[in-house]
Amino acid sequence: MTIIKRRAVLTGAVAAGGTLALSACAAETVPVATTPPSATVEDAPAEPTGEQLLGPSSEIMVGSGKKYEISASLTILVTRPQEDTFRAFNASCTHSGCIVSGVRDDQIACGCHGARFDPESGEVQAGPAKSPLGKIMVEVRGSDLFAII
């Protein structure tokens, strides 16, 4: 009987020690990058592709721009440099990824660090950005704007 009690005590001690050891290990665990599990086509999240109706072109005044959030990872800035000219860009600033503020003083402005881009070409006009904004095709059909993604 005494032996059983000692074993029980020892087992309990080992278990408690193991728990402490596991707790210590858990506290020291460093998160690692994981990849999502593979999914079927039906399970895959719908990425915006193809044509996206943005809305009436009349919402964008000449010399201004408007942002459209297409998805959590894509916002588009459509500019209207002239009456019949519309341009669209990926609104993520090429410096550090902030979403640009919009068109101000004939420039696309990023409020994070002051980069400026041409509203017709997307080219850098002032740093710290070094690369132009990504171009996105935009079409006017009737009175509506469509982005082709």
Cis check: omega of the bond before 128, within 30 degrees of 0: yes
Report if residue 129 touches ligand FES, rule: CB under 6 A: yes
Residue 115 engages ligand FES in binding (rule: CB under 6 A): yes
Contacting ligand FES (CB under 6 A), which of 110, 124, 145, 147? Answer: 110
Q: Which stretch binds ligand FES (CB under 6 A): 37-45, 54-62, 91-99, 138-146?
A: 91-99
Does residue 116 touch ligand FES according to CB under 6 A?
no
Q: Alpha carbon 14 to chain centroid distance?
A: 48
The answer to the question of residue 113 lying near ligand FES (CB under 6 A) is yes
| Residue range at the interface with ligand FES (CB under 6 A); choices 5-13, 37-45, 81-89, 110-118 | 110-118
Residues that bind ligand FES (CB under 6 A): 93, 95-96, 98, 110, 112-115, 128-129
